[in-house]
Amino acid sequence: MKKSKRLRNLWYNLSPQQRFTVRRLYYLPSDLYEQFINKRHRYVPPKGYIYTGSPSNSKEYILQGLHQLELLKEDIDIKPDDSVLDIGSGIGRTAIALTTYLNEKGFYEGFDVVEKGVQWCNKKIKKDHSNFNFKYIPLFNDLYNENELEASEFKFPYPDNHFDKIFSFSVFTHMKIDEIQHYFSEIKRVLKPDGKAFSTFFVYDDNTEKQIANNEKFSFPYLYDGYRLMSNVVQSGNIAIHKEKLNEMLQNSNLELVSLTEGFWKNKENSLNEKEYQDIVVFK
């Protein structure tokens, strides 16, 4: 077995709390150094807190958020005075970029199932930007926490037809299929009739299924009805959805696919020509 796969299996065998602790300890020396030289942007958490990815430094975290903002401008025409919802707002990567873009007529709502991330965002970002708000929702996700509430029954805490734009980066790659279906219906409810939604996914079709099932480094060996999982131990670890199933799920929630832009996750060599790692799905 490849080393990267062995490491991933080891990682999945830890509890969510153990994963947080290992990350914190691993990055502690470089976090202390960054604190000592005082180089970190005031909204960027220490690397050991960034449970949502591994940017090489504070500057890269900011750049990743700015890249996400560019995608939102290109793909769903996000405007400075839009009302926006960030599903799975994490530890503020996209929100930080949006503080430089949304004006006082626009507003931002984010929610997430990891309390530490939400606390950080409210303490740092909301403090300076009263039109930004982050909510902690204690829903279960076996990659991130040991909460008890079911995401498949969660009603988004916003009124109907409330948002111009709704987005989620790398969230529907870490949820269960029934949860994603339910979130589609909630998106339909809280999105304005002329609004647009943007989400990233791992999408495959009949031509690429074999490749992603057996890929050396990043594979989805466990087949279910129209989707594949990376791990049966941590079911929300990574999910890839067949294109037809995704379309069917959108239709079930009265949503319409606007565009699907392939990312380079299936084929890293092509990365220079592609704009994003995961596949981008725009719907309304």
Ligand X SMILES: C[S@@+](CC[C@H](N)C(=O)[O-])C[C@H]1O[C@@H](n2cnc3c(N)ncnc32)[C@H](O)[C@@H]1O
- Contact positions vs ligand X (CB under 6 A): 52, 87-88, 90, 93-94, 111-114, 117, 139, 141, 144, 151, 169-171, 174-175, 179
Nearest CA to 235 out of 152, 153, 155 is that of 152
Nearest residue by C-beta to ligand X?
90
> Which pair of tokens denotes residue 174?
């870490």
For the CA atoms of 279, 140, 212, 86, what is the dihedral angle to 10 degrees?
10
Minimum Å gap between C-beta 174 and ligand X is 5
CA dist 263 and 158 (Å) reads: 31
Nearer to ligand X by Cβ, of 117 and 195: the residue is 117
What residues contact residue 49 under an 8 Å CB cut-off, 6+ apart? Answer: 24, 91, 116, 120
Work out how close the CB of 185 gets to ligand X at its nearest, in angstroms, rounded to a whole number. Answer: 14
175 or 241, CB closer to ligand X?
Answer: 175
If the CB atoms of residues 113 and 250 are measured against ligand X, the closer one turns out to be 113
Shortest separation between residue 206's beta carbon and ligand X, angstroms: 27
Which CB sits closer to ligand X, 122 or 209?
A: 122
Q: Which C-beta is closer to ligand X: that of 110 or that of 195?
A: 110
For ligand X, the closer of residues 170 and 247 by Cβ is 170
C-beta neighbour count of 103 within 10 angstroms: 11
As to burial, measured by CB atoms within 10 angstroms (0-12 exposed, 13-18 middle, 19+ buried), residue 216 is: exposed
The distance of closest approach from Cβ of residue 167 to ligand X in the complex, given in angstroms and rounded to an integer, is 8
The amino acid occupying position 93 is: R
CB of 73 to ligand X, least distance (A): 16
For ligand X, the closer CB: 58 or 170: 170
Q: How far apart are CA 80 and CA 44, in angstroms?
A: 22
DSSP string, 154-221: PPPSS-TT-EEEEEESSSTTSS-HHHHHHHHHHHHHHEEEEEEEEEEE-EE-TTTHHHHHH-SSS---
Shortest separation between residue 171's beta carbon and ligand X, angstroms: 4
Tokens (6 digits) for 252: 């079930």
Cβ at position 36, least distance to ligand X in Å:
26
Shortest CA distance to 157 belongs to which of 133, 123, 175?
Answer: 133
**106 or 117: whose CB is closer to ligand X?**
117
Smallest distance, ligand X to C-beta of residue 168, A: 6
